[in-house]
Each structure stands twice: as structure tokens, then as C-alpha cells.
Amino acid sequence: MGGVNGKVVAITGASSGIGEATGLELAARGATVVLGARRTGRLKALAERIRASGGRAEVVPVDVTRRADLEQLVCTAVERFERLDVLVSNAGIARTGLMAELDVDSWDAMIDVNLRSVLHGIAAALPVFRRQGHGHFVTTVSTSGLKIVPTQAVYAGTKNAVRTILEALRQESTDGVLRTTSISPGYVRTELADYIDDPDIREQAQRRMTALGISPDAVARAIAFAIEQPDDVEIGDITIRPTFQN
């Protein structure tokens, strides 16, 4: 079942940035998208754009820190469209700071959103994928997990943990049923930096995104590329960054 057309794809963090762009890209290629995020107003507006262009979209309120919400996202896809072909785990947050600052609340938040939510998604979708005989986990990671720098220790740690989990899941699932893909974007023009607490670091990150960042559409196309491969082809890792990023 290669290609994107006709597939049912659930996306977390779909209200903006990479998630929004992915919903638009996949729907334009003929996928049915099940859009999950907390900001339901934005989700509904996105779904209307997709439907106005002839696509199919469903909206599910999702707080990825709640396991029940991930279960509802998967259940909605299966109940409404009779299957789920791909789960794109895209929701993520970035909190930066030196380890010595001991910002434990930010550490916990990143673990909950960046790591624990991916596990919740796997727990919700894996039985469905096994039952139907196919399924694809696509997860947004980060180049921050490839180039370790000060102030990003916990953020990079959560991203590397996700990469490790997906690789282990791949090795446990070489019977042809599952595929896993890690997408590692560099600077992308999204809202991610807007929520960094430290104003100086936030401003610096925003400047870099403005100067260097690529469009979320570029990442969405990379996700579509991984999904559209034939079932016997797995794109395990994609690193996508601006050509000017060091």
C-alpha cells in the first residue's frame, strides 16, 4: 500500500507549524487526516481549509500529556474511517537553560510532551497496527539531538530518547507489519521558540529562526516522502535543516 492517497493519518500538534503543514500536505495528496491538538479553534479552521479544497479531515481535541486523549485520537480514526495507517507524533516543546538552574518543572514538561506523549501514542496505536497488519509511526525529533549544545541538555535528551525508542521498536518489529521514521528538523519557522522562558535565549532563538529557518512545508514534504514509500521500504531517519545551519 504505497503512496499517500487513501491513507488515514493522525497528527498531533496539528494546530500550527510542522503539524499544520503536514495536515495540508498529506490531505492535498489524498490522505484523510485526523487532526489533534489543544487549540481546537485552529484545528477547526485548518479542517475547513482542507475540506474546502476537497480533502477529508477530522478534528479531535488532544492534550498529548493525557494518555486518554491519545487513545481517543486513535479511536476516532478507527471508528470514523475503519483504520489508522500512520500516526505522526509531532507535538513538542522546548525549554532551554543550564542544568545548574535546576528548572525541574521545565524538565518535567519536556519529558511529558516530547517523550511520554510519544509512548502514549505508541501504546494507543500499536495494537491497531498489529490487528490490521500494517502501520507507520512517524515522529518529529530534532537536530538538537544530533549536535549537543549547552542549555539544551534535557530537550536534546528527550529527543534522543524518542529516537532510541523508535529504533528499538523497529528492531522488535521486523515482520513487515510496522514502519518507524524519525524526522529531525533543524531551524524551522514555527512557534517553538516563542515559549522559551528566558527572554534573552528566546530572542536569540527567534532571530535564528527568522534568519535561517526553512518553511514547515519542507518538513511536511519529508514526512510525505517517508509515508509514500511502498510497504516493504522503510525510511528510518530523515535529517532536514537549512543549508546555512552549522
Q: Is 195 in the active site?
A: no
Distances (CA, A) of 70 to 5, 22, 104, 122, 125: 24, 18, 25, 9, 9
Give me the residue label for grid cell 496505536. 125
Amino acid making up residue 153: A
Q: Where are the beta strands (DSSP E) in 83-215?
A: 86-89, 135-140, 178-185
Grid coordinates representing 169 are 521498536
Closest CA to 187 of 138, 148, 244, 238: 244
Measured CA to CA, the distance from residue 23 to residue 49 in angstroms comes to 10
Closest CA to 2 of 24, 27, 31, 35: 31
Measured CA to CA, the distance from residue 124 to residue 143 in angstroms comes to 27
Give me the residue label for grid cell 534535557. 154
**Spatial contact of 83 and 64, defined as CB atoms under 8 Å apart:** no
Catalytic residue chosen out of the listed positions 155, 188, 209, 241: 155
Would you please indicate which residues are annotated as catalytic (active-site) residues?
A: 155
